[in-house]
C-alpha cells in the first residue's frame, strides 16, 4: 500500500488545493491531508478543517488531520526547515511513501522524509491563484473559491435607520443590480401590526439572524441586509419597554462589514405599520446613538433616492475592485 501526504494551511481552501488533493488521491492508496494551524491564523482552524472534511467526505481514502504549527522555522534554509517538518510528521503520522505538492518545498521535504515527490501544477498554469492572493483580494479570485468557502468572504452590508427612509427598496434594487442576494425585514413576515409580544420579538430576532446566515451561503460577494438586531432591540424597547437578553446574544452572531445610516430627509410614507412619522428625528437619534456606543463606524446616507443609491454604489464598487 502506498500512503501519500499533502500539507498546508489551506487559508483558505481553493480549487487549486482541491485539484492537488484529488491528483494525490489518484496516485496512492491512502492520502493524509495535514492542515497546520496556530492561534494567530486569520481564519479559524475549525472552519478550515470543516471545509476540507466536507469537500472530501465521500472519499474514504482521504484522511484529514490538523496539527499545531509549533515546529516551523521560517529563518532556516528549506533543507533544514523541512527537516523540522519531517521530525514532527514522523511523530504523528504513519510512514509516508509519496509527498504531493505545488510548492518549492516539496522536493527537499520529500527527500528528508525518504519519500518520493510528485509535483502538481508547480507553475500555477492550471490554477493561477494562491491563498495569499485570495486573502488580499478575494473578489478578484472569486471563481477559484469553492461554494463552501465563499460565505466567509461575503461582505455583509447593513442598511440601517428609522422607518420610511428607503432601506427596503434600496436593498432589493441593489441586490438586483449586483446580481446577489438581499435580506428583507423579516418582522413583516411575522407580525402585521405594532401589537406584538416579547415572544413575537424573539421569533423575529431568531428569524432575522437565520435569514442572514442562510443568504450569506448563496450571496454573490455582497449581501445587502435591510435591518439588523440592533433595530429589533430599538423597536422592542420602544413598544414593549424591555429588551429580552437573547436579542443581544443574537446580535453577536452577525458581524456586518459596513453600516449605512439612512437619514430622514425624505418624505414619510404610511404603510399600515409605520406610526412614528411625528417622531422621526427622535428615532434617528436613537439609531445613531446605538451605533456610536458600540463603536460601529457608519456611512451617512442622505438626499433623494438616486443620491442615496449613488452613495451605496460608490462604496460597493470600491470594494469589488
Could you read off the pLDDT of 75-114 as tens digits, one per residue?
999 999 999 999 999 999 999 999 999 999 999 999 999 9
Q: Residue 195: what pLDDT?
A: 81
- Read off φ and ψ for residue 104, nearest 5 degrees: -65, -30
121 sits in the region (left: phi over 0; alpha: psi -120 to 50; else beta) called: left
State the pTM of this model.
Answer: 0.91
pLDDT mean over 10-31: 98
Instruction: Return the sign of the alpha-carbon dihedral for residues 108, 113, 118, 122.
Output: negative
pLDDT mean over 169-192: 94
The tally of CA atoms less than 13 A away on the side-chain side of residue 128 is 2
Q: Spell out the residues 6+ positions from residue 141 whose beta carbon is closer than 8 angstroms to its own.
A: 14, 129, 133, 134
Among 27-31, 148-152, 167-171, 196-200, whose mean pLDDT is lowest? 196-200
Q: Residue 188: what pLDDT?
A: 85
Q: Residue 279: what pLDDT?
A: 83
- Read off φ and ψ for residue 300, nearest 5 degrees: -80, 140
Q: Would you say 153 and 135 are in contact if contact means Cβ atoms under 8 Å apart?
A: no
Select from 95, 102, 137 the least CA-distant residue to 18: 102
pLDDT at 275 > cutoff 70 = no
Among 42-56, 180-194, 220-234, whose mean pLDDT is lowest? 180-194
Select from 257, 247, 202 the least CA-distant residue to 224: 257
What are 241-271's pLDDT values in tens digits? 999 999 999 999 999 999 999 999 998 877 6
Residue 272's pLDDT band (boundaries 50, 70, 90)?
Answer: low
Instruction: Give the CA angle between residues 74, 51, 247 to the nearest 5°.
Output: 110
According to DSSP, residue 154 is labeled P
Q: Residue 267: what pLDDT?
A: 86
Taken in order of first residue, the domains within the chain and their CATH numbers are 3-144 (3.40.50.620), 154-320 (3.40.50.300)
Q: Residue 321: what pLDDT?
A: 86
Amino acid at each position: 500500500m502506498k500512503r501519500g501526504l499533502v500539507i498546508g494551511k489551506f487559508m483558505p481552501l481553493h480549487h487549486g488545493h482541491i485539484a492537488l488533493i484529488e491528483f494525490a488521491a489518484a496516485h496512492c492508496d491512502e492520502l493524509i491531508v495535514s492542515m497546520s494551524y496556530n492561534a494567530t491564523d486569520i481564519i479559524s482552524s475549525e472552519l478550515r478543517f470543516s471545509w476540507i472534511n466536507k469537500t472530501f467526505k465521500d472519499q474514504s481514502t482521504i484522511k484529514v488531520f490538523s496539527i499545531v504549527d509549533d515546529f516551523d522555522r521560517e529563518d532556516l534554509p528549506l533543507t533544514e526547515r523541512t527537516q523540522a517538518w519531517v521530525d514532527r510528521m514522523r511523530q504523528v503520522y504513519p510512514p509516508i511513501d509519496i509527498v504531493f505538492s505545488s510548492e518549492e518545498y516539496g522536493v527537499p521535504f520529500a527527500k528528508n522524509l525518504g519519500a518520493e515527490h510528485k509535483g502538481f501544477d508547480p507553475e500555477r498554469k492550471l490554477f493561477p491563484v494562491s491563498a495569499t492572493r485570495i486573502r488580499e483580494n478575494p473578489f478578484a479570485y472569486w471563481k477559484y473559491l469553492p461554494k463552501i468557502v465563499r460565505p466567509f468572504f461575503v461582505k455583509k452590508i447593513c442598511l440601517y435607520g428609522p422607518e420610511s427612509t428607503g432601506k427596503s427598496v434600496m436593498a432589493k434594487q441593489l441586490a438586483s443590480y449586483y446580481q446577489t442576494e438581499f435580506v428583507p425585514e423579516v418582522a413583516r413576515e411575522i407580525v402585521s401590526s405594532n401589537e406584538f409580544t416579547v415572544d413575537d420579538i424573539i421569533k423575529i430576532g431568531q428569524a432575522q439572524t437565520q435569514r442572514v446566515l442562510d443568504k450569506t451561503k448563496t450571496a454573490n460577494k455582497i449581501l445587502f441586509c435591510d435591518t439588523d438586531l440592533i433595530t429589533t432591540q430599538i423597536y422592542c424597547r420602544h413598544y414593549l419597554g424591555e429588551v429580552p437578553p437573547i436579542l443581544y446574544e443574537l446580535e453577536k452572531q452577525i458581524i456586518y462589514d459596513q453600516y449605512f445610516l439612512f437619514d430622514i430627509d425624505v418624505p414619510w410614507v404610511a404603510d399600515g405599520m409605520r406610526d412614528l412619522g411625528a417622531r422621526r428625528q427622535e428615532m434617528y437619534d436613537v439609531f445613531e446613538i446605538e451605533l456610536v456606543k458600540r463603536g460601529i463606524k457608519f456611512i451617512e446616507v442622505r438626499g433623494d433616492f438616486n443620491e442615496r443609491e449613488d452613495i451605496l454604489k460608490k462604496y460597493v464598487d470600491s470594494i469589488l475592485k
